[in-house]
Copies of this chain bind each other. A is one copy, B any other.
Amino acid sequence: MRLSSLVDAMLLISEKQLHESDSDSSEMVQRGLGWVVVQYHMDIKKMPTLGQKLKVSTRATSYNKYFFYRDFWIDDLDGNRMVDLSSAFVIIDVKARKMVSAAEKLTDVFGAEEITKIKRFARLREPKDYDIKKGQHIGYYNIDVNRHVNNSYYFDWMVDSLGIEFVEKHRAKSMDIKYDKELNIHSEPEVYAKIDSDTLVTTHWIKSDGELNAVAQITWEEK
């Protein structure tokens, strides 16, 4: 299963919960607001296999002035945990393109607890040099209804840059990604990777027009 499909499956579930409080993506757009993911941390204990039935769950855990935190998890039908994902989202005012307070803009916080702390995610930085650099074409199939690139494709681009041989011999154990700037249909992104062969940690970043779009780190193990 592709990392992008995994994340898409989880996001679909949160849209369901948000829909019950009129806060799913399309409903937010109508109110001039948008959910924007800032960071994910994912642990993949076991990658789902073709045809396997899964139970996908989500819970809005907490929020503070800026961030809204949500957990996702995937279990097999025997209740064995396969994937854990924690995430931080912000709400933006689409016209002003700036962050607004999550708590103020939501009538229902889905049982999430208000906290004052900012949760720590992995600190991800763009490395100074790279081992791999590849131009990435944005296709119509990468675009969502709002004419933005669906950022779950970033995983595919990042993994793909390592080459099919690497992907076939390794298994992703965990992944951190931080989103900086959205890509649009006119962007001409470059995908970079730096590989630490000893630790099997790969760092990935995407830039367009000299600006960083996202940076990620994947920890692998040999299959």
Residues of the B chain whose Cβ atoms lie less than 8 Å from the Cβ of A139: 156-157, 160
Cβ-based interface call for A37 (8 A): no
**Beta-carbon nearest neighbor of A144 in chain B:** B50
Partner of A140, one of B50, B140, B143, B164: B164
A137, CB-defined interface residue at 8 Å: yes
User: Are the CB atoms of B145 and A164 closer together than 8 Å?
Assistant: no
**Which B residues lie within 8 Å of A141 (CB)?**
2, 4, 156, 159-160
Q: Count copies of this chain in the complex.
A: 2
Dominant secondary structure of chain A at its interface with chain B: helix
Q: Given A50-B145, A145-B50, check contact A164 B137 (CB 8 Å).
A: no
Inter-subunit contact A159/B140 (CB<8 Å):
yes
Chain B residues with CB below 8 A from A51, complex form: 15
The smallest C-beta distance from A151 to any residue of chain B, in angstroms, reads: 15
How many angstroms between the C-alpha atoms of A81 and B45 in the bound complex?
A: 41
Assess whether A38 is interfacial by the CB under 8 Å rule.
Answer: no
| Smallest Cβ-Cβ distance to A143: which chain B residue | B164
**Is residue A122 contacting chain B, with contact meaning CB distance below 8 A?**
no
Can you give 14 A-B contacts (C-beta < 8 A)? Answer: A2-B141, A4-B141, A15-B51, A50-B145, A137-B137, A139-B156, A139-B160, A140-B156, A140-B160, A140-B164, A140-B167, A141-B156, A141-B159, A141-B160
- Measured CB to CB, the residues of A under 8 A from B are 2, 4, 15, 50-51, 137, 139-141, 143, 145, 156-157, 159-160, 164, 167-168, 185
